[in-house]
Structure 1
């Protein structure tokens, strides 16, 4: 069955435009509340959000939906996505909700859902929700005396701060490090600087003045230039760039060079393997991770298991095969010894631990392999299925044949935007550029003709 609402990371879209409307948000609350209303206990949901203007609107709509379904709502306010996952378990709730569009601009918003175990919902449960959303939900409403209550929970920032601090190894302190952090004017603008300061670092913060419309605006993990500039100005040892909901991280080393998620996973994998705490014999990443990472791990006699794009698919494979490190090139790093979803701050703390223990610079620690030339281009589409066109299929087959022994080709529709993503990598940069540009042209021509 084709999905109408859910993408690779929950429901996402432009605010006040289907599907990201208050009406649908309320219906999602009723549908999800109905599915997770199991047993005779008082059912509870925690609802967090980032700093987008539309968060107030969607938060209230979801509270209305869940309480109408007979579920008590604990409202957290702006808080990172990994904190919502943690608090879902800590507060023994039946459901966790994060209202966020992650790294997208403020005009967008989204709904991420967590089960009582703190993990994102399976495809099967998401399909159950979609089925309910297509039906009349009036029969699912609670009786008058069973309507849920709603209240704002205080102290949740302190809970997450203490949780994050405990993930730093006990023999490590951040004293002597000057850390520049960009909070993307997002959900971690209060908690992330506090964690770093309480662990002993000299902290310089940017992207910590959200106004509802500046989340991810020329800042954060998708726009690290602001952090690079600040790092140079204050002569920081390391820069940490989070995204709008703080579930991903990008590092900037002392020279101003950007370090992506592939390099960060390599650092953690090597360190944890040396400490004999790495599980699964390697790590889990997506089809988008660089071939250089795979070769680096192979040289360490470690494996790289690849999944579809989306951190929840990474987590599913980790759970099924007993891995404890996984993530995405974009900076979603999942460390299952600590949490159930990507956590940009916790991942950054592991990198800082490696830096402090080694006594080396961030550039020395984080340059674990030479990336294979990789090029990603997006083709915006307005509808149709260009990847099912015969001409496009033949062009893809020809490109795959050419790269068979020297590289990889990944072409996929975005799960969050109306885009076709075309990525190729290999040892010959000129060849890669030609292949990607040719495929983008073919897809664009088919789209235009349609």
Structure 2
């Protein structure tokens, strides 16, 4: 959640001149508001600070401020590439399209990956020598939340605290009305296919799989593997990697890309359990009754 501020400490001048930062331990994550009518009279920045909500306008401002900052400091030029990926919790694209818009309004090209696991953003950044990357995600948080992680060009690392402070100041200085009037200067470039090929290759390299080269052709050939993607970023992707790894059969469950991230799926409900009994999956009353059993 964002660090809510009292009204006395919310002046833009005081926040800009202090060491205050919008980010938490890993970028920004909090509840979202999709319509401006719910936050009438407040700027996107004020909505975030006073109410603790992310709006699509805030996402656009955040991306724009970071890219513009890189250009003004000479660390990037207009027309340079910025990688953008996201998780499935925004199927209508309200927030993801806002981030892409912010990148393009700042003058950079957006290399769009679509729904991908977070590590692929910095990986593809390094592969394409891109200047920055954004991952629109709230990680393991509930599906009514969203957020954004920022990666820098140096080895795809995340921002340091002092970088967060600088970005915070830039975000607070953006005039939403002026930004709304800007045209898209950069290009939207669909880079999904190339990025996924890179991820498959990387994931199947022997040094990354821990599978000895001499055993790769037969180690999994008699194994049926069930993959629970928790309706998350590895939906459809993880299963394909395991198929290419040589498993006899791969059964994928909970791979819906409709925004139901972690809903009645994944490992959270299984933590600490070493045995699943018939009582646990009994209809309506069992603790795991909402989970689907895969039968062979």
With the length of structure 1 as denominator, give the TM-score of the two structures: 0.46
C-alpha displacement of 1:210: 2.7
Greater relative contact order (CA < 8 Å, ≥ 6 in sequence): 2
Is the 8 Å Cα contact of residues 105 and 183 (structure 2) preserved in structure 1?
A: no
In 2, distance between residues paired with 1:185 and 1:130? 32
2:105 aligned to 68, 78, 88, which one?
68
> Does 2:69 align with 1:35?
yes
The size of the alignment, in residue pairs, is 229
User: Contact 1:55–1:99 at 8 Å: present in 2 too?
Assistant: no
Q: 1:104 aligns to what SS in structure 2?
A: coil
Q: CA RMSD in A?
A: 3.0
Structure 1 residues 39, 50: closer, same or farther in 2, change over 3 A? Answer: closer
**Equivalents in 1 of 2:115, 2:191: separation in Å?**
12
Q: Which runs of 5+ in 2 are unaligned?
A: 1-17, 34-46, 279-296
- Within the candidate set 134, 137, 151, 1:100 is matched to 137
- Aligned: 1:84 with 2:131: no
Measured against aligned partners, the alpha-carbon deviations of 1:411-445 in whole angstroms (never above 9, x if no partner) come to xxxxxxxxxxxxxxxxxxxxxxxxxxxxxxxxxxx
Q: CA shift at 1:229, angstroms? A: 8.7
Structure 1, unmatched stretches of 5+, are 233-450
How does 1:162-311 map onto structure 2 within 5 Å? 162-166=201-205, 167-169=208-210, 170-173=213-216, 174-175=219-220, 176-201=222-247, 202-212=249-259, 214-224=260-270
Using a 3 Å threshold, how does the CA distance of structure 1 residues 121 and 184 change in structure 2: closer, same or farther?
same
Q: Deviations over 1:203-229 (max 9, x none)?
A: 2222212322x110121232337x989
Distance 1:43 1:86 in 2: 17
- Per-residue CA deviations over 1:57-101 (Å, capped at 9, x if unaligned) read 111111111111111111111010011121111111111111111
Q: Which runs of 4+ in 1 moved over 3 A?
A: 1-4, 227-230
Question: Any conservation in 2 of the 1:15–1:54 contact (CA below 8 Å)?
Answer: no
C-alpha distance in structure 1 between counterparts of 2:225 and 2:269, whole Å: 18
Q: Contact 1:160–1:191 at 8 Å: present in 2 too?
A: no
Task: Using the TM superposition, give the Cα deviation of residue 146 of structure 1 relative to its aligned residue in structure 2, in angstroms.
Answer: 8.8
For residues 121-141 of structure 1, the C-alpha deviation after alignment (integer angstroms, 9 at most, x for no partner) is: 111111111011111358x97
Deviation at 1:103, TM superposition (A): 1.0
Q: CA deviation at 1:152?
A: 2.0
**Does the alignment pair 1:45 with 2:82?**
yes
Deviation at 1:183, TM superposition (A): 0.7
- Rate the CA distance shift 1:152–1:28 in 2: closer, same or farther, 3 A: same
**Structure 1 residue 104 displacement after superposition:** 1.4
Is the 2:69–2:170 contact (alpha carbons within 8 Å) kept by the matching residues of 1?
A: no
How far 1:180 sits from its partner (Å)? 2.2
Say whether 1:118 aligns with 2:156.
yes
Q: Does 1:130 align with 2:168?
A: yes
Instruction: Describe the SS at the equivalent of 1:7.
Output: coil
**TM-score in terms of structure 2 length:** 0.69
